[in-house]
Structures are given as structure tokens and as C-alpha cells.
Amino acid sequence: MWKKALLAASLLLPLTCAPAEAAKVGPLIKVVEPEPMRIPSTIHLLAKTPMYKDVDTAAAPADGLLAPQHDVIVLGGQYDWARGRSWWKIQTWLGERWISPEPWNVDVPPPTKLTLLDLTPLYAARDASLPPSAELTPQEVQVVDAEKQWFYSNDPNEKKWIKIRTTWLGDQWLQLPVGQIGYIKPLDTYAYYGGEPVYSRLPANRYQMNPEDSDLRLENETVHLIGEYVTVYDHFYLTETKAGRGWVANRGAEAIRRTENVAIQSDTPIIPDLTRPNVYTVLQPQTVQSFERLADEETYHVRTPQGEGWIRTAYAEPTDAKPISLTVKLGSERGLNRFPFALFPLDRTLPAGETIRTTAYYWKGDPWEPYWYQVEPADGSGKAWLQLDPRVDRIDLPGEAPAAYAAFQQTQAYTIAAGPDATLRTQGKTVGYLKDGVPYFALEEAAPLFNFELGEADGLGRVEVRHPSGYSFVLQPGQTQAETRWNGHVEETVPLLEKPTIRDGQLILQGDDLGLLLGTSIDWFESRQYLYLFTDQYRIDTGSGTLHTDGNRAHATMLLLDRSVQPYEPNPALAPKLVVRQGSGEASTSNARTVDSGWLPPTWKLALHTASAPQMNASADSLSATVTLGARILWKRDLSAK
């Protein structure tokens, strides 16, 4: 199921740090428990309603059909249930189930009380043309009934009828805008605001709140909340400010007023204004006293000799950073940070091409968080942190001098559908077919997908397929071998699994042979209804290392920084390999040694490839190193021995 999200004709998939959960298909439904006004504890169904066991996937099958009925017990709901279709978690005779009715197919009991905000006329019946029985001043009243679907409207100013109980007139009717059918409940808490408009009068709804009409703004301030106005659609909060009482639309960040001693273990930024975290001074290790803190994180409001401000212990210089010594040539301009967090940039950058040395790395352990590396720039400006980009940066390991450096860039993938007639199609055209479950491809259709072009080789009926990099291969229908070339020079002859054939005027290659020559892989999914035809692309640089000789053998190394295949990514059958040979002699044997790369994000892996080949004579003039993907040549370098 994970690959359904990728059913595009052509994809370029750069490496990301997303966790595997990102590939889940369908909405992850989140509901809240019943609460007065916002989420009713019971609902009435006005139409037949499907129910489901599970809604965590996009295609949950219906588990049954509920008939119209009253008093369905609600276990949880979504706040927007009165505005449009939403999900409810309910209790049934089968246990917990889910339903998703339209709001016009639902009714709910009215609230038991509401707060009148203005002078409100009362009527003996639901008829506004009658003379009012009386007028009520702003107060809390008891509700006994309401018109059907009193909550449902496309306009929060539309009025609905509510029946209330009075002590002197008995039950009476009144009309209120939907957005003002609510009540005020007491609060006694504190909240921090970084820029919140305050209104002297409660608006009908937040969409009519214009910050320009506000009386003041709470800027970097903690205030006392004393009331909460609750409607079906929203919350508003009554606060005590320096200028008096007023209404705000948001709850703010809950603050706890109490004195605490806070031990600072390492350099820590103190931020006067939390809305501007890039303005700060640095506190040295010490113990400070806070007079309030934010409830959901370790953020403390303190007064120190350096001034008053906020400190977040999570944003201190990490004491658990791990040492790592790397030499890195930056492939692009890079910003520097004082601390290993995005909130603390410095006003200087390092240019592309600059070589730096790292001393430590730090990762918070969150799959969505980047890895940070500590450096000491050559300009003497002091320690700083930056992020590396393995796709463009050249990372050298201590004690290693590879002849080649290869780094994964992106995956170029095509989604190909296997039709019931055994055809293989992508981008609206047929590119091949299936025979006994084995894919075959028309070279004229498949090769251009990966930037290859076809032409004649030598007028002898052979076909040459060329890539702009300098790599090409030559083959002939009926021959079980192909010839690879680099910049026009013949490199080697490679065997094919099957003879290329001609079908409907097109040259046909078996899928594995196509992959061998183009450097592509095939990955089936959706019960073999679809396949990916794809290739991983690499940047290959010439390293500082040369060829080493050991007796009668020649050796070279390649450092490969590759993607670690995630569950939601195509899985390649091919990986880059290093080949060493002298002239047309025997090719090297090679092996790959995994290198400890805990200092890299887990979506990367690092290996050191060593190739060894017989040296036929003392001259190194004809020694070369080649990086291949299958039989495809990605890079070649002439080597000198030492």
C-alpha cells in the first residue's frame, strides 16, 4: 500500500530524513472527548449512517448501517462537526465504532445554560413579530429547548430560537446568532502571549475580529485568564491586563507562576522576547531563579545580572555532543548557528568551496530533526554549528585517501503499469510487455527515459546507445553480448541473459539486461500490478588518493555515501562498484567495508570500497579505476602508482 502515494509517471526522489510513518496512507483521525458545547456527549442521527471499525486508512470498509435514532453515545468528536462532515467515535452494541455523517443529518441537544451578552427580548412563542414579553439584561440563563439543528448554519450571524426558563414568566423564547449561543465558564490560570489583540467587546465570531479594531496587544507578556466563553464553533478568553479586562481569541501558552532554581549546565541563550529568539545574550553555567515557566516545556522566565528574559534548557549548548573529526569541503554556501538549533543563526556564512574541520556532532534523536556539526572557522570567530549536505559536500574520513568519492543524489523513477493484456505502459505509451511474468522493454522507448539516445554504431547493423556522460554501449539483435565504451573507447564485452530481438520494428531487451546496460533496477508493488523502473543518480568526484601497489597487485579505494533504503522507497538491485585494471587485463576483485556512520542521519550509509587487480608490468601508465553501476560506467580515472 505504501507505494500508492507514488503513482506518478516520473519521479525524482531526493533523500530525506522522513521517518517510515510518513508513508502511511489515509488520514489519521484525531478526536477529543465530549466537553460542554464543543463536543456533545450524545447525538441524534437523522438519516441512515454507515459505521466503521477503523478510519486510520483511506479505504476503511463499512461495518454496518445505523438507522435514524436518538441518543447515540459519543466517545469523541472533531471540533468542526457543526461546519461540515467530520468523524465521531461512538459506542454501539458491537463496541466502539466510527461514523462520519453530514451536519444536516445530525441533531444534538441544546446546552443546559447560556450567557446573554446583550439586552435580549423574550417572546411567548417562536415568532419575532409578536411584542416582546420582556427584555433580559446580560446574564446566565437556563435552557430547556431549542429549534431543531439550532447549531447548523453557514452564517454565524444567522439567528436561532432557544427556549429558556424564567422565574416570573415561565418558559420563554429568544433569538440569538449561532455564534453567540454559548456560555462563560470561570477560569483561573495564566498564559503567555507573543502578540495577541485584546478586544473590550466579545465579537460574534473570530472571523469578524479585526486586529486594527483591538484596544491593545499583548506583546511578550503573561496575563491572568479569568473566563472562557464557549460556543459550538469556538472559544474566547477573558483576561485581566494592565489596561483592564478584555477578550482574546486564543488560549496562549499556559504559564505557571512559581519560584524555581534552575541549574544551567552549559552556555545557554537568554532571550528577552520569545517571539524574537535570534536576539539573545549567553549565560555561562550557573544557577538562576525563575519566577514563572511555560507549562508544556522547560522554558523559564528569569532575572539575572545580564537582564530579564527566558531560557530554554533544551536550547543550551549540548553536553552530550559526540566528538567527530572530519574534513569537509563545502559544496554550497552554508549558514552558521551559535547553538545547534535553527533559532540561533549567526550573521555570517561560509562560502562554497571552503574546507572546514568538524570537532563534534549533535542530534536530538527526533527523526524530523537534522544533524548538527560543530566547527571552528578559520577566521577565528569562535565555535559555531552548521548542517552538512552529503549530496554536495565532500566529506573525507581521517586516514583515508580514496581515488574516488561517490555520493547519492536522487532517484529517477518511472511508475509502469502492467496491463491485463500484458503490456507495460507509462506516460500514456507502451514501453514493453510481460512474458511468463518477466518484463521486456523496447529499447527505443526505455532508454530515452534516462537520457540515453540511440544511433548506428558502425554500419554493420549494430546499435549504439549513448549517454551525455561519455558512456555508451553497442549491441546487435541476436547476439548475447554487448560492448561498453567510455568516450568512444571500447572498455569491455559483457554477457547478456537473452539475445536482443526485434518485435514490431523495435529492439527488445529483457528487463535484467536493460538494467545491466542502463544501470536501472526494477521494483514490483501492488501485487505486481505496477513496477518502478528506476536508477539512483550519483555525484562522483576524483579523490586525493592514487593507486597503491603491493607485490604484483594494484589497489585503489572509493568512499561511497549512499542512501539507506527506507520502507517507502524503491529498492535498487544495483549499487556503484569500483573496478581497477591495467590495460585490457583482468578486472579487479573488490569488496566493501561498512564504515561507522553514526554521525550521519540514519537515511545515509557509508562504505569504503577496495579494488585489487593483477599488475601485469611495472608501468602504471595504463592503470585505471572505474566506477560502474551494473555494466554502466559512471566515472573513470587514469591512475599513477606509488
| Per-residue model confidence as pLDDT tens digits over 43-97 | 999 999 999 988 765 466 788 899 999 999 999 999 888 888 899 999 999 999 9
Q: How confident is the model at residue 616 (pLDDT cuts 50, 70, 90)?
A: low
Which residue's entry shows cell 437523522?
46
Give pLDDT, residue 271.
95
Question: How much is the pLDDT for 1?
Answer: 37
Q: What is the DSSP letter of 274?
A: T
pLDDT at 615 over 80: no
> What was the pLDDT predicted at 580?
86
pLDDT tens-digit readout, 449-501 = 999 999 988 777 799 999 999 999 999 999 999 999 999 999 999 999 999 99
How much is the pTM? 0.73
Kindly report, residue by residue over 121-169, the tens digit of the pLDDT. Answer: 999 999 999 999 999 999 999 999 999 999 988 887 889 999 999 999 9
Give SS3 for 477: coil
Cβ neighbours, 10 Å, residue 495: 10
Residue 518 Cα distances to 495, 513, 535, 563, angstroms? 14, 9, 8, 20
- Pick the residue with more confidence: 582 or 494? 494
Buried residues in 224-236 as b, exposed as e (16+ CB within 10 A): bbebbbbbbbbbb
Residue 314 is classified by DSSP as G
Weakest-pLDDT range from 38-52, 331-345, 614-628: 614-628
The model's confidence at residue 313, banded by pLDDT at 50, 70 and 90, is confident
Beta bridge partners of 628: 577, 633
Give, in words, the CATH class of 412-528.
alpha beta
Which tens digits make up the pLDDT trace of 489-500? 999 999 999 999
Give the fold, CATH level 3, of 324-396: SH3 type barrels. (2.30.30)
- Tell me, yes or no, if the two domains 324-396 and 412-528 fold the same way: no
For residues 219-237, average pLDDT? 92
Q: Could you tell me the residue ranges of all domains in the chain?
A: 42-107, 113-180, 183-251, 255-315, 324-396, 412-528
The set of cell numbers assigned to 89 is 467515535
Proportion of the chain above pLDDT 70, given as a percent: 91
For residue 586, what pLDDT is reported? 66
The values of phi and psi at residue 523, to 5°, are: -135, 115
Average model confidence (pLDDT) for the chain? 88
Closest CA to 559 of 598, 629, 607: 607
Cβ-in-10-Å burial (0-12, 13-18, 19+) of 30 comes to exposed
pLDDT at residue 442, as a whole number: 97
At residue 513, the pLDDT reads 97
Please determine, for residue 191, whether its predicted confidence score (pLDDT) is greater than 60: yes
Beta-strand runs (E) in 351-505: 355-362, 372-375, 384-386, 394-396, 404-418, 423-426, 429-435, 438-442, 453-456, 463-466, 471-475, 481-486, 489-495, 501-503
Between CA 17 and CA 329 the distance in angstroms is 22
Per-residue pLDDT, averaged over 277-304, amounts to 92
Between 549 and 140, name the one with better pLDDT: 140
Beta strand 95-99 with 49-52 is antiparallel
- pLDDT reading at 221 higher than 50: yes
Q: Which residue has the higher pLDDT, 574 or 6?
A: 574
Banded pLDDT at 640 (limits 50, 70, 90): low
One of 2.30.30, 1.20.950, 1.10.3470, 2.40.50 is the CATH number of 255-315, namely 2.30.30
Give me the percent of the chain exceeding a pLDDT of 90.
68
Q: What is the mean pLDDT of residues 207-220?
A: 80
Q: Which pLDDT does position 297 carry in this prediction?
A: 81
CATH of domain 183-251: 2.30.30
Tens-place pLDDT, residues 323-337: 999 999 999 999 999
